[in-house]
Amino acid sequence: MQSDKQSRDYDLQKREQRIQAAGQLFAFLVSMTAIGGGLWLAGSEQQPVTGGIITGGTVLSIVVAFLKTRKPVPLP
Protein backbone atom coordinates (compact mmCIF):
# COMPACT_ATOMS: atom_id res chain seq x y z
CA MET A 1 0.00 0.00 0.00
CA GLN A 2 2.76 2.47 0.94
CA SER A 3 4.73 1.59 -2.18
CA ASP A 4 1.73 2.38 -4.41
CA LYS A 5 1.34 5.79 -2.77
CA GLN A 6 5.04 6.54 -3.15
CA SER A 7 4.94 5.47 -6.78
CA ARG A 8 1.92 7.69 -7.46
CA ASP A 9 3.54 10.64 -5.68
CA TYR A 10 6.72 10.15 -7.68
CA ASP A 11 4.79 9.98 -10.95
CA LEU A 12 2.88 13.16 -10.09
CA GLN A 13 6.12 15.00 -9.26
CA LYS A 14 7.74 13.88 -12.51
CA ARG A 15 4.65 15.01 -14.44
CA GLU A 16 4.74 18.40 -12.73
CA GLN A 17 8.42 18.76 -13.63
CA ARG A 18 7.65 17.99 -17.30
CA ILE A 19 4.83 20.55 -17.30
CA GLN A 20 7.13 23.15 -15.74
CA ALA A 21 9.83 22.43 -18.31
CA ALA A 22 7.31 22.85 -21.15
CA GLY A 23 6.12 26.10 -19.59
CA GLN A 24 9.68 27.38 -19.40
CA LEU A 25 10.27 26.48 -23.04
CA PHE A 26 7.14 28.31 -24.19
CA ALA A 27 7.99 31.32 -21.99
CA PHE A 28 11.45 31.40 -23.55
CA LEU A 29 10.03 31.31 -27.07
CA VAL A 30 7.50 34.05 -26.33
CA SER A 31 10.10 36.26 -24.67
CA MET A 32 12.61 35.83 -27.50
CA THR A 33 9.89 36.69 -30.00
CA ALA A 34 8.96 39.80 -28.01
CA ILE A 35 12.58 40.88 -27.65
CA GLY A 36 13.25 40.30 -31.34
CA GLY A 37 10.13 42.20 -32.37
CA GLY A 38 10.91 45.00 -29.94
CA LEU A 39 14.45 45.31 -31.23
CA TRP A 40 13.16 45.34 -34.79
CA LEU A 41 10.70 48.11 -33.93
CA ALA A 42 13.37 50.03 -32.00
CA GLY A 43 15.64 49.87 -35.04
CA SER A 44 12.93 51.03 -37.38
CA GLU A 45 12.35 54.69 -38.01
CA GLN A 46 8.59 54.41 -37.47
CA GLN A 47 8.20 53.07 -33.91
CA PRO A 48 11.48 53.30 -31.95
CA VAL A 49 9.81 54.21 -28.63
CA THR A 50 7.30 51.37 -28.85
CA GLY A 51 10.11 48.93 -29.63
CA GLY A 52 12.10 50.15 -26.65
CA ILE A 53 9.10 49.74 -24.37
CA ILE A 54 8.37 46.22 -25.63
CA THR A 55 12.01 45.13 -25.34
CA GLY A 56 12.54 46.76 -21.96
CA GLY A 57 9.31 45.37 -20.54
CA THR A 58 10.14 41.88 -21.72
CA VAL A 59 13.66 41.96 -20.32
CA LEU A 60 12.39 43.41 -17.03
CA SER A 61 9.79 40.67 -16.67
CA ILE A 62 12.44 38.01 -17.32
CA VAL A 63 14.71 39.50 -14.65
CA VAL A 64 11.85 39.60 -12.14
CA ALA A 65 10.96 35.99 -12.92
CA PHE A 66 14.54 34.85 -12.30
CA LEU A 67 14.88 36.85 -9.10
CA LYS A 68 11.64 35.53 -7.68
CA THR A 69 12.56 32.54 -5.57
CA ARG A 70 10.51 29.39 -5.46
CA LYS A 71 11.41 26.34 -3.45
CA PRO A 72 11.70 23.27 -5.70
CA VAL A 73 9.83 20.15 -4.70
CA PRO A 74 12.43 17.45 -3.95
CA LEU A 75 11.97 14.00 -5.38
CA PRO A 76 11.99 11.16 -2.83
What percent of the chain has pLDDT above 90? 7
Q: What is the pTM of this model?
A: 0.66
Stretch 26-37: mean pLDDT, rounded?
88
pLDDT value of position 2: 67
pLDDT value of position 15: 92
- pLDDT of 1 higher than 70: no
User: String of b and e for 30-41 (b: at least 16 CB within 10 Å)?
Assistant: eeeebbeebeeb
The 10s digit of each residue's pLDDT in 34-70 is: 888 888 888 888 888 888 888 888 888 888 877 776 6
